[in-house]
Amino acid sequence: MYLVKSPLLLKWFYPSLTWNKSRSEKIVYLTFDDGPIPNVTDFVLNTLKSFDVKATFFCIGDNISKHPMVFERVKNEGHAIGNHTFNHLKGWKTDDETYIQNILKCQQLTQTNLFRPPYGRIKKSQIKSLKSKVKSLKSYRDSELRTNDSGLEIIMWDVLSGDFDLNLSPEKCYQNVIKNTQNGSIVVFHDSLKAFDRLHYTLPKVLKYLSEKGYQFGTL
């Protein structure tokens, strides 16, 4: 079970997390989780390039290690990079110390100030521990965790495409996005093998539709 549109209750329960950006600007933020994966991430990059669009990729550290050339392409083409843990850990089922260390292991590769918890599941204690870890850093040189002056931003979303759902039709995936996206929306796709059938159909159509509606595309 999952919700396409993030409910207000969740936003209220986790107020320190970023669920969307400014509603006053006609900008949408496309994000891609779980890569980099050969062919799949390459398809995403080619499609984004054809529309002259930049996006944000929340990468799994293990996949970066396995596919460094694909990761380099993401960076070289000007997209933003986010941390998605090294092993795609589910925070609710992982002890805090293991979870934080797994994030730090990924951080050595991503060196970003953006983090998205896999499955969107993170304990409040993990949020506190992670932010405390960031706050205690004195310099990039002194730690594995590199951030900018604003610290680590934990990114959630307000629109979930559902492309990971094997029972979802590609057309329904497309409708999930276009019916729920608004100014400032953070939209989740997955550059994974599991999602590819729906992603391949949906992404070009979403880019065409939103572009024709006058939206611009931003990075986080």
Which domains does the chain possess?
8-217 (3.20.20.370)
End-to-end CA distance of the chain: 27
| SS3 label, residue 14 | coil
Query: 106 near 77, Cβ under 8 Å?
Result: no
Query: 109 near 64, Cβ under 8 Å?
Result: yes
Could you report the per-residue pLDDT of 145-176, keeping only the tens digit for each? 554 444 689 999 999 999 999 999 999 999 99
Name the residue type at position 120: G
Could you report the per-residue pLDDT of 30-74, keeping only the tens digit for each? 999 999 999 999 999 999 999 999 999 999 999 999 999 999 999
Residue 17 DSSP class: S
What is this structure's pTM? 0.93
Q: Tell me how far apart the alpha carbons of residues 139 and 119 are, in angstroms, rounded to a whole number.
A: 30
Q: What is the mean pLDDT of residues 98-119?
A: 94
pLDDT at 145: 52
With a pLDDT cut of 70, the percent of the chain lying above it is 92
| Higher pLDDT among residues 51 and 13, named by residue | 51
Scored b (16 or more CB within 10 A) or e, 184-204 reads bbbbbbbbbeebbebbebbbb
pLDDT at 142: 43
Q: Tell me how far apart the alpha carbons of residues 109 and 88 are, in angstroms, rounded to a whole number.
A: 15
* Mean pLDDT score of the chain: 92
